[in-house]
Chains A and B, each alone.
Chain A
């Protein structure tokens, strides 16, 4: 057995170590398929962050423009301005101080993971979600519990409300903090039945 063929047993040393580096990566879900790449979804949203120890939640307003698998624009408009845009494997950010940053998506695991999460969640692809989350259907939507032990350090569960397209997503943090995203669609995606590949 050659060293090359027989394989990376050396990873035995590393397995635990490298997981720390995969924090944001743990969000990742499968890339959307061609069938989910439909017309852009455009919505206004409100992001309400409840932080432990703070009586008043932080509320942000913005818009999302999203084409599954191809493009995501996430723009905060109030109380400050911030936007990130993912397209063609690149993340472009306009920071609150007005500066711009451009990086390859592969270097920004968090953005990459969020892009995939949105593609699956808004694209209605439970199979892709199931790769990273235990799914529990509810009357109003579904509850996603991270299977990754690393992701679970920050997010204990994600509750999606609305069928087939979620209009409210609550991300519950392990520190009991909460982020509630409420979407008001301006231009909806096609029905998920048509957009889902059944992957």
Chain B
């Protein structure tokens, strides 16, 4: 190519190829600016730069502020909770050990409620308003025949050994019956010794309910949770060697997940790096390319991470881990340069630029469509990948010529020539045969494919934590249903009224479920009024009618005295605020936002399919909110959206390739990655792996990388030998890196890695087969 035909880009490439350091300076300046910007963004945000809160992935609920506030409140309660179980063979030592654990935790500043004290405080509030608290049947009977009802109830209470209904504290047991009707999500637990005992457990067992001060998905929250477990274990261990401590908390899962992710990032990086080092050593017989390969990879990751941080304020763990797989792609560009440089000498950038530019464009197009999805990690991944790949190319273009300019020319190692023969030589026949076999074999697998989108795929679930969780669930007895009801109203009174209607509907239609919300602890004003009215005939005139009824029945009139003394001198209804003042935790059932009041109602029991939705739809102002289902639905939606966008991405890519290679050439070029995707799906079907959002994203990557290989080869021109070798080395690196990811214990990463590794292997196999149809446009 003559100088006078060069455009500005070619001139720039030629200048860069000459190893002028000014491009390296520009590269360093851009990198420094991006890093500074990211640091500033993190500092201003004040949060951890690495996020692991899966629920933060939910779509924005800004159009419904009350729902958003309820979700936030539900999250807080969920994320800051912790349950510790202390169990032992002997009652005495287990009790002492559990109390020691409680003291140790309280002494260290952890919030642990004394359930007995709380219950007593609440009981006192109810006792003060006892005349407003009657069960519906008691209220009806008292309204109809107050004297007769009271006397009969007292006679029954006196006849029942040990019943509060036969004591001065609650003559007739009216208050006790009302209290018995309160929501009891865990009826088998009793407060004992300042703890929660589980009398029906196989061995003496206590539960400690701890509220953590920090949110679970933060390093501080995780440390706090782990420290709590350690404190409890030490305290218990000192008093009872045979006792066991079991704990469960979102923070513990989060800690395990973070540790798992860190460990995986570490070994993935080490593994990928080792593969690259070995390949470089094997083929280049020199250590000189290694720093450049590392610079290309690290440059890409730093560019990607910095821009992601600037745009999003944090990098989600999933993004980060998937981002490390950029190693497998960005190394393509580095190897393409280095192999060409080694085999063909100077002027490398000019030679590889068309291939790299086309490949980068195709990959970026594929990732750009991810950015259109409403799923934060996918958007993050799109930004991370696009900028990371551009950064990797920038690094290759700016830094590689500078550091390789003194390498000079030398004979390529013999292994390179051997590999070239294998990569570009007469292997097309066996490639074609293998391709046909793979396509034929994959058809059966395609029929076995199934789709499954599940939040759990994002998380590593350490078996020991899952077992601990199950053990504590069995001690609690009642399984919590997934999700909650949100009862909304323009004010608290309306919301409570709707909450009561929901409770009535649930009692009628789903009697086996327990609903726990503020309305369950507070009778409606109408019910309170009715109860007070039912007592009034007995209590008017200083309780004369009550005393007379007792005297006539032969029962001691002393039973009237505590009731007469407690009869309210003025009309003071029991209010939500009184309950919340007594037990602030109840306040967490209410939220206010957007000019509305919402009540959160938790559900315990095993609802039948669709039962909760039906219950919610049957009551005005009530909605059933299931975060897990919403997340899974989001995943499914994203998968479908991703498939659509991938199709659009391919169409755009086809246009680009058609412009470059003609309609047939463009189509055939695209056929290679498409066939690779199809075969990969078939193999996944045979392996029993589900298709989900991550598999779809992986297939997008396969498409991008597969197209890269075909494009590199098409653009190889006179330097086809070096291109074929570069493609082979790049494929080996990618298969190695993604294959390692396929061994991840996080299901989503495992599926992602497996899909990409299989896809790239097939794409590499197929890429040379597309060469026959390509006729390039003049550059």
**A interface residues, Cβ below 8 angstroms from B:** 1-30, 47, 49, 51-54, 58, 60, 62, 74, 76, 79-80, 82, 84, 93, 95-97, 109-110, 114, 130-132, 134, 147-151, 153-155, 158, 169, 171, 173, 175, 177, 179, 181
Contact = CB atoms under 8 A, between A and B. Distances in A.
Contacts of B191: 16, 19, 148-150
A21 B183 contact: yes
Interface string B583-616: 1011011000000000000101000000000000
A7 B253 CA distance: 11
B199 A29 contact: yes
B577 interface: no
Contacts of B81: 9-12
Contact of B190 (A134, A147, A158): A147
Contacts of A22: 184, 187, 189-190
Contacts of B78: 3, 9-10
Contacts of A179: 161-162, 166
A23 B152 contact: no
Given A114-B161, A147-B192, A9 B82 contact: yes
B166 A49 contact: yes
Nearest to B585: A13
Interface in B399-426: none
Chain B: interface size category: 35 or more
Interface string B57-82: 00000000000000000100111111
B192 A8 contact: no
Given A18-B186, A47-B161, A52-B168, A153 B120 contact: yes
Given A153-B123, A173-B167, A3 B482 contact: yes
Contacts of A1: 250, 253-254, 257, 459, 461, 465, 469
Contacts of A14: 183, 185-186, 516, 585, 602
A2 B81 CA distance: 14
B455 interface: yes
Interface stretch (B20-28, B173-181, B295-303, B668-676): B173-181
Contacts of A10: 74, 77-78, 81, 480, 602
Contacts of B194: 149
A58 B250 contact: no
Contact of B179 (A8, A23, A27, A79): A23
B158 A58 contact: yes
Nearest to A181: B161
A130 B91 contact: yes
B588 A13 contact: yes
Nearest to A60: B159
B284 interface: no
B473 interface: yes
Contacts of B163: 24, 110
Contact of A80 (B83, B155, B253): B155
Contact of B184 (A5, A18, A28, A155): A18
A131 B131 CA distance: 35
A14 B586 CA distance: 8
Contact of A51 (B168, B482, B516): B168
Contact of B473 (A7, A27, A28, A148): A7
A181 to B, nearest CB: 6
Contacts of A49: 158, 166
A27 B83 contact: no
B77 A15 contact: no
Contacts of A175: 167-169
Interface stretch (B111-119, B341-349, B726-734): B111-119
A26 B190 contact: yes
Interface string B170-213: 00000010011111111101111110110110000000011100
19 contacts: A2-B456, A5-B456, A7-B472, A9-B250, A11-B480, A14-B585, A15-B113, A16-B114, A16-B191, A21-B183, A29-B199, A47-B159, A95-B156, A97-B148, A148-B190, A153-B120, A154-B162, A154-B164, A175-B168
Given A11-B185, A110-B176, A154-B169, 13 more contacts: A1-B469, A4-B628, A8-B473, A9-B77, A11-B83, A16-B122, A19-B190, A20-B126, A20-B182, A21-B184, A132-B190, A153-B123, A175-B168
Given A11-B186, A17-B521, A54-B556, A150 B116 contact: yes
A155 B161 CA distance: 11
A52 B466 CA distance: 53
A17 B556 contact: no
Contacts of A23: 164, 176, 179-180
Contacts of B253: 1, 6
B516 A4 contact: no
B161 A20 contact: no
Contacts of A151: 190
Contacts of B254: 1
A49 to B, nearest CB: 6
Contact of A6 (B114, B209, B469, B589): B469
A27 B180 CA distance: 13
B199 A12 contact: no
B334 to A, nearest CB: 39
A21 B585 CA distance: 17
A18 B263 CA distance: 42
A173 B162 CA distance: 8
A151 B211 CA distance: 26
Contacts of A19: 115-116, 118-119, 189-191
Contacts of A74: 159-160
A79 B554 contact: yes
Contacts of B144: none
A106 to B, nearest CB: 9
A7 B586 contact: no
A29 to B, nearest CB: 7
A155 B162 contact: yes
9 pairs of A and B residues whose beta carbons are closest in the complex = A16-B118, A9-B81, A149-B116, A21-B182, A1-B253, A19-B119, A131-B199, A8-B480, A147-B192
A177 B170 CA distance: 13
Contacts of A79: 554
